Chain A
């Protein structure tokens, strides 16, 4: 599922990469950036945590044109004159102004490194509202953000993850040099899937999934037992042969009238017997559950 999340192209998505001090998620963030650039999307990066050089991805000239860095690392609080980007500029209006400065009119993939820095300087409710506003507006197509989960209280992490459509939590694997990614993905209809995978990131920042360790959210799909034929293995015969079926169809039933008498009787008459049916709780038939009417 990690590869699906990286390659997902639907708009309005919000991916949070949660990392901790044991395992850094920045390389995974860079691989998200790389994948977006390869899909010919415009990527804007708000870099607060690390300098621009550490976040650069190897890309050709075409990709480099679509990649736009906003340096919030050198002067985040605006102590010097004319800072490139301050953390106080993290609000919907200012970010829209930043995005509109670039010449590409297409919707943008916004990469934020990291949200933890922003949460240090803004109240969490304001950050949540800002992110929701960015998602709703048409300028930003998707948001990928890095969050250092051990820097914040559980409530803040929980509130942000509540807004996200996909959450990837990276942790070191128990053995080996791999990293384990636990992905939770939520669709609009409320369907939630979870998966845990081991992955490595190669030099060119592509992600390969090694193996899937454990599926906590999937149920075992047992093979459906073939429907037992109730008419088999009986000491008497319950089946009908073709001739018998024909004879059964031809049988005239006692109150079957001719067509004219039928249509005469079927004319709508005022005050004819009305069928009044109040569906009762006991009448709840459920096509899925054959044992619904059993009082077990």
Chain B
């Protein structure tokens, strides 16, 4: 049945962020905000938001990732979940039709791109639905419904306006994305061992050679493809999603992970400063993963966090003693929100509670608030009972 039309923005409650795009109402006037597929304006501060690919993470960081900002993810110990988040981010870009840039020093970017999760098909492509309609008319046999037969020729879900007007999609991690879908979007890659020879001549600079090459590559791409806001506005705009894997690890030539007083302490911070400046002046959004558990000097990690806009840290239970702890058996790890940005406003969006735990399910990366209540009793013969209440954070 047709969805009831809900008018736009009411009091700030959880439902309203979905009400903004749950309606088919379209404003006649030409708004100030550019209408780019896969984006929506924020209800808090009017910024243009894109989805990170994980809807629960979007909720935790305040509705989505603002265009022009940088998301920092502190990796978990074996880099399993942070890599998954990077893949979700890139997969969301493919589905929304954004351009992608992937920089990596360890694994070839093509390998990461081949592992992108497949989107859950119900949401995507009216085109696929039309073909399905023709097919279903012929085969009445097993597909025919007994009671709701009037609906049997409709595709299971039809999106309202366009396939990419939805904000946030769901992905099935057990399947990888179709190569055709991936090739439909423009992916640019940067793989450090291919870009520069290992021994290069030393130019005087605050950044090391690897970061310099990466920054130059991003800058050239932004200028060439016209993502910067200074470019003429005649052609249609798109968003560039930049994903950088494992910055700060020794494979980028940086030794902040190896020593407590590294010789090159400002290399990563200079890069992030330049990178954020590039992001602010262009229609780009960046996601960076950093192996913070290897960085010895906490001051450097503090500087890195300050130089990024939104920062979250993943702490997985894998391989630690918490994995067998019955209190944590429902989750794969804890998620800490280190920082949320103030973007053109005085107050930043902070999640209600800091006790967030995540679990990677097949079709969803769930982030939940975990409450652990411990009931202590004075009498020694009674056991300590643990009561766990689960509340969805999104």
Contact = CB atoms under 8 A, between A and B. Distances in A.
B137 A124 contact: no
Nearest to A124: B258
A194 B319 contact: yes
Given A216-B323, A266-B150, A274-B158, A125 B1 contact: no
Contacts of B83: 190
What DSSP secondary structure best describes chain B's contact surface? loop
A132 interface: yes
Interface residues of B, number: 66
A275 B154 contact: yes
B27 interface: no
B257 interface: yes
Nearest to B363: A286
Nearest to A137: B193
Contact of A275 (B158, B294, B392): B158
Given A124-B255, A216-B321, A256-B146, A288 B361 contact: yes
A268 B251 contact: no
Contacts, number: 148
B364 A284 contact: yes
Residue with the greatest number of chain B CB neighbours at <10 A, chosen from A159, A216, A266: A159
Given A129-B253, A192-B318, A277 B363 contact: no
Contact of B255 (A125, A133, A191, A280): A125
A153 interface: yes
A281 B260 CA distance: 45
A104 interface: no
A165 to B, nearest CB: 11
A289 to B, nearest CB: 8
Nearest to A130: B198
A18 interface: no
B319 A128 contact: no
Interface in A149-172: 153-156, 158-159, 162-163
Interface in A122-136: 123-126, 128-130, 132-133, 136
A138 interface: no
B299 interface: no
A27 B154 CA distance: 68
B370 interface: no
A189 B149 CA distance: 43
Interface string A259-296: 00011011010000111111111001011110000001
A276 B159 CA distance: 6
Interface in B348-394: 361-364, 389-390, 392, 394
Contact of A276 (B160, B259, B362): B160
B25 interface: no
A158 B255 CA distance: 12
B198 A253 contact: no
A136 B106 CA distance: 10
A262 B145 CA distance: 11
Contacts of A128: 249-251
- Which of B22, B160, B257 has its CB near the most chain A CB atoms (within 10 A)? B257
B251 A275 contact: no
A83 interface: no
B84 interface: yes
Given A190-B81, A216-B319, A276-B24, 14 more contacts: A123-B255, A125-B254, A128-B251, A129-B193, A155-B257, A155-B258, A155-B296, A162-B79, A162-B294, A192-B319, A216-B323, A253-B147, A256-B146, A268-B153
User: What are the 3 tightest A-B residue pairs by CB atom distance, in nearest-first order?
Assistant: A190-B80, A128-B250, A124-B258
12 contacts: A124-B258, A125-B254, A133-B193, A136-B108, A136-B193, A154-B296, A184-B319, A256-B146, A278-B21, A281-B55, A288-B361, A296-B389
